[in-house]
Chains A and B, each alone.
Chain A
């Protein structure tokens, strides 16, 4: 079934006029490109942990629409925040995400990313892929939401087994701000506190 579907995708991509197929296949390529670079980085044993994390941060900021994601996660509170708060939040949020993901990547152990196909979803392309872990015989479904506006592609969300990272964090941030009387500063403080905690437990 899976291979049949892949064969079908290939045929569609070849037969459908190139102009239409272009953006969809590009999104799949864009995601594989990111995965390849990330895996190359994590497999490079000549780098120290600090160097690797720094380069990983740069990679994430190149392929992900960090400021756009940051704004999206804050939802309606973005408009109520002062400019100073917006800047402080974006800084804390980016640092937080990059650190979290690069830390996750430290555990990398030979898993592979297999891109299965791409579908259109309004303004976005959704790239479906799987993480194949041959050691533990497990597979995880991973969907990537990619936007292509103004000529440059960016990843805006990663969905793991049906759970969207962006939606999850958006809900979490909204809950925290709500229980603090709508103050965005409370979220900024919490993000900074949480970073300090993770850093301390790390070293």
Chain B
């Protein structure tokens, strides 16, 4: 099992080396296998509609919000070792201190009560996908994983690697570990869907191309996480695509003509 995982990690890393991002419009996501991705996306969406959404709805309506908060906190606390390991791998001493302090501050109640946030230690998730980004890896092609959802080559590699960083995967027998990891992911998915119930439904209902919308949101969100929510390019600008922004009170160019820029 472990050998297979290592093998696929290397295969993915090799692929990452070959994949070139080509000529992309600014802000566009590199998506060379879009037709296949759309198919998996549609299947995931069906699973969401038929299984996840109803389950999350019941969970949200039946379980009081205080208990749901406990679940959310506990799940986050379980990931602490992975956050700590990745902060260290990124050479981020401040983040390492932050996540280690969080882990200890919340340990007395096994992470179920989040005292750390009140102490100024907010959630600061780190995973191996982010670590690879800090090390300079491109995100590579966009991939929609069955059940697990939006990802890219870099983050898929990270997902596999994070398993090795999780100490739980070194306790007990393989069967127990698998059951634990599946249970944790299922509860995590239901909890996430319930916490963002209306937002996700709205995202779907108000889109003209739901697939494309989720694709860019995933990319932007990951980028923000890699930067730990700090503004890009300290001292510089983060305008990017907004360079070409022209407010409405400037003369509107006529159609068919090119602006003299």
> Measuring CB to CB, which residues of chain A are less than 8 angstroms from any residue of chain B?
1-2, 65-68, 71-72, 75, 78-83, 85-86, 96, 100, 103-104, 107, 119, 121-124, 126, 135-137, 141, 145, 147, 149-150, 152, 154, 156-157, 161-164, 167-176, 179, 187, 190-191, 194, 197-198, 201
Selected contact of A67 from candidates B231, B244, B248, CB within 8 Å: B248
What is the CA–CA distance of A147 and B242 in the complex, to the nearest angstrom?
11
The 23 sampled A-B contact pairs (Cβ below 8 Å) are A1-B120, A75-B25, A79-B256, A82-B256, A121-B238, A122-B237, A137-B69, A149-B247, A149-B249, A156-B247, A161-B221, A161-B224, A161-B229, A164-B220, A167-B216, A167-B220, A170-B27, A171-B216, A172-B207, A176-B208, A190-B209, A194-B207, A198-B206
- A residues in contact with B227, CB < 8 Å: 162
Shortest CB-to-CB span from A185 to chain B, Å, is: 13
B166 at the interface (CB under 8 A from A): no
Which residues of chain B come closer than 8 Å to A145, judged between CB atoms? Answer: 242
Among B69, B215, B256, contact of A171 (Cβ-Cβ < 8 Å): B215
Closest to A192 in B: B208
Determine how close the nearest CB of chain B comes to the CB of A161; give it in whole angstroms. 7
Tell whether B61 is near chain A: CB-to-CB under 8 Å: no
Residues of A with C-beta under 8 A to B229: 141, 161-162
With A79-B258, A171-B27 given, is the CB distance from A149 to B239 under 8 Å? no
Q: Assess the A149–B250 pair: CB atoms within 8 A.
A: yes
Interfacial chain B residues near A171, Cβ < 8 Å: 27-29, 212-213, 215-216
The answer to whether B69 touches A68 (Cβ under 8 A) is no
Interface presence of B173 (CB below 8 A):
no
B27, B208, B239, B241 interface centre (most CB from chain A within 10 Å): B208
Residues of B in contact (CB 8 Å), total: 49
The answer to whether A174 and B237 touch across the interface, beta carbons within 8 angstroms, is no
A121 with B250, Cβ < 8 A, contacts A79-B258, A176-B209 known: no
Contacts of B198 in A (CB 8 A): 107
Cβ contact within 8 Å between A163 and B224: yes
Q: Is the CB of B239 within 8 A of A71?
A: no
CB distance from B163 to the nearest CB of A (A): 26
Q: Are A194 and B206 in contact, with the CB atoms below 8 A?
A: yes
- A172 near B213: Cβ-Cβ < 8 Å: yes
- B252 on interface, CB distance cutoff 8 Å: yes
A2 touches B238 (CB 8 A): no
Check A82–B244 contact: CB distance below 8 A.
no
- B81-112: contact bitstring with A at CB < 8 Å (1 yes, 0 no)? 00000000000000000000000000000000
- Assuming the contacts A150-B249, A168-B220, asked whether A123 and B239 have C-beta atoms less than 8 A apart, the reply is yes
CB 8 Å contact bits of B244-261 with A (1 = contact, 0 = none): 111111101111111100
Further contacts, 4 of them, CB under 8 A, given A85-B255, A163-B217, A167-B241: A122-B242, A126-B238, A149-B249, A172-B207
| Residue with the highest number of chain B CB atoms closer than 10 Å, among A126, A137, A141 | A137
Contacts of B252 in A (CB 8 A): 67, 71
**Cβ contacts under 8 Å, A81 to chain B:** 255
Q: In the bound complex, do residue B239 and residue A121 qualify as a contact, i.e. CB atoms below 8 Å apart?
A: yes
Is B67's beta carbon under 8 Å from chain A? no
- CA–CA, A86 and B256, complex, Å: 11
Q: Is B50 part of the binding interface, using a Cβ–Cβ cutoff of 8 Å?
A: no
| Nearest opposing residue in chain A for B38, CB measure | A179
In chain B, positions 33-88 with a C-beta closer than 8 Å to chain A are 65, 69
A162 partner, pick from B207, B220, B248, beta carbons under 8 A: B220
Cβ of B205: which chain A residues have Cβ within 8 Å of it? Answer: 197-198, 201
Shortest distance from the beta carbon of B75 to any chain A beta carbon, whole Å: 15
Which residues on B sit within 8 Å (CB–CB) of A156?
242, 245, 247
- Scoring B residues 213 to 241 as 1 if CB is less than 8 Å from chain A, else 0, what string do you get? 10111001101110101010000011101
